């Protein structure tokens, strides 16, 4: 696995750079501003990865401690947010060994193939065509969160970064040190897995 090479890039614009330069120039009292910008996001990312609230807090704390320690080494070659998530993702992965929640297994595409194409419904089910706001309920949101937790970690990391945090394929690849192709494969399987879970939810209505 090689990190994508991104040499000779154009200069990156990032709203955080100014603040980071100030902190690195000695204005340590501005570090809390950086924390404020990201603690909410990081907390939710960590909750999705660790599930347990205390573990999520530990992860956020360790991540910011690492950011504080290594901010001097930040090269302004990537957006700060991407660098931050790289630190957070590796903190989560290290923590995994202590987690009781993450089932480690491979998802293969076969398990999601329709058994037989003649068994696939020949109509789009209601849940897939109803307006989103009519469909959303607290129960459904709980169901989605629950389903995300049941994904094996390596798939969960990818779908959380892509579909929840909104990173692009290339950014996700960079954060996780994977190839773009690998990110796409994992994302597709993760989505198919969730689709199965949701399908089950609606069919049991």
Partner 1 sequence: MSKDEHDHRHCLELFEKLSEYLDNELDEVACKDIEKHIKECVPCFVCLQTLKRTVDLCKQAENRMVPEDFSKKLKEVLQNMPKTPPAG
Return the residues of window 139-178 that contact partner 1 according to CB under 8 A: 140-141, 144-145, 148, 159, 163-164, 169
**Which residues are CB-contacts of 80 (< 8 A; sequence separation ≥ 6)?**
14, 16, 17, 20, 74
Q: What CA–CA distance (Å, rounded) separates 44 from 60? A: 9
Length in residues, the chain? 205
Token digits of residue 204: 């049991």
Token digits of residue 97: 């060994």
Closer to partner 1 by Cβ: residue 47 or 89: 47
Token digits of residue 159: 């779908």
Token digits of residue 88: 């957070």
Q: How far is the CB of 139 from partner 1 (least distance, A)?
A: 12
Return the residues of window 81-120 that contact partner 1 according to CB under 8 A: 109, 113-114, 116-118, 120
Contact 137/183 with Cβ under 8 angstroms? no
Closer to partner 1 by Cβ: residue 12 or 196: 196
Q: How far is the CB of 55 from partner 1 (least distance, A)?
A: 12
Among 60, 84, 157, 178, binds partner 1 (CB under 8 A): 60
Q: What CA–CA distance (Å, rounded) separates 117 from 173? A: 33
Binding interface with partner 1 (CB under 8 A): 28, 31-32, 35, 39-40, 43-44, 47-48, 53, 57, 60-61, 64-65, 68-73, 109, 113-114, 116-118, 120-125, 127-129, 132, 135-136, 140-141, 144-145, 148, 159, 163-164, 169, 184, 187-188, 191-192, 194-195, 198-199
């Amino acid at each position: 696995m090689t990190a994508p090479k991104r040499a000779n890039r154009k200069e990156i614009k990032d709203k955080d750079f100014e603040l980071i330069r100030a902190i690195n120039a000695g204005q340590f009292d501005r570090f809390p501003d950086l924390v404020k910008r990201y603690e909410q996001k990081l907390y939710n990312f960590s909750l999705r990865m660790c599930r347990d609230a205390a573990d999520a807090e530990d992860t956020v704390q360790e991540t910011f401690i690492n950011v504080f320690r290594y901010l001097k080494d930040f090269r302004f070659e990537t957006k700060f947010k991407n660098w931050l998530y790289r630190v957070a993702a590796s903190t989560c992965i290290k923590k995994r060994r202590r987690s009781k929640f993450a089932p480690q297994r491979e998802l293969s595409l076969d398990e999601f193939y329709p058994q037989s194409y003649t068994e696939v419904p020949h109509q789009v089910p209601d849940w897939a065509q109803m307006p989103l706001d009519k469909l959303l309920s607290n129960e459904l949101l709980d169901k989605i969160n629950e389903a995300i937790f049941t994904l094996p970690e390596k798939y969960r990391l990818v779908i959380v970064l892509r579909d929840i945090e909104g990173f692009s394929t290339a950014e996700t690849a960079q954060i996780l040190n994977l190839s773009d192709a690998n990110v796409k494969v994992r994302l597709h399987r993760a989505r198919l897995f969730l689709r199965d879970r949701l399908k089950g939810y609606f069919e049991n209505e």
